[in-house]
Structure 1
């Protein structure tokens, strides 16, 4: 990575959107976090990154500061993601951070960017267990469940050895309802 840190823009979201701005504003309560950077994050338009998909040089200056500020702000919702937003005004002018724009590498099934075709999406983001909650987003379930079934069938990652040790109330409910549907056929 030439810049040292490459994040992915979540959909086509930016820091100018109300939800993102409100999340970043919560960082004002932590005086140990550079308040000038927090202000610049919400006053200028930066890509809204998601910390779930990124690549970094282990020596990137972004990593230690992101870690430090995330620990400081750990009491807020998704502090790692919120703090990652502030890394753009801090490091982009120095050429130390960049983002894959447009959402193709981090797309929400529920909030897919306009003009981004399903075929162009490389990474689907199933936030809030949307992939296991038909009432929340049937499209997410329809997209994810066949892949889950394939992984079980092919025993990808030896999943059959450990899958029953993992519980998720939404997945458990989905699998149970599917089992009941098959029993009545």
Structure 2
């Protein structure tokens, strides 16, 4: 169980980093090749990216595509909401979780249909040892964007921590339907599936 708790904290902590820090950690788009990176980015839809993610042939390729998807997720269309979420990320990094929640509450008042904001608030609630609120926010995120693989992963970990292994396995399998190359999740499914699938109904 300690393995799952540690893995959840790692994934949620990385996902809650300020957007600027995430961007700095990602490789820059190649320049040239006939079309400017921003123009190429606009030409590729989110649906296209998810299609490519599902067909990725390696974990490295999938990570690159997933980073592009996460970048799209991190844009609300509102400069104010984006700024507030960035400040919430800074508060999270300083472990000022109450401030992070307050800022994300403001974000959600402006952009209630922004899946990423619900996901980010879930990460804060988890750090505040409030898995019930975290799960509720993850479910809101998934209702808005059912392909949010990070939200499915977080939901799986919370369910696993509460010993709801069957629903956790279902969540992990949803992750792999979207992003089949996630090695950590594949490892969990490999370990968990024989135990859950072997249970009598």
TM-score normalised by length of structure 1: 0.33
Q: Considering only CA atoms, is the larger Rg found in Structure 1 or Structure 2?
A: 1
Structure with greater strand share of residues: 1
- Structure with the largest fraction of helix: 2
TM-score (norm 2): 0.31
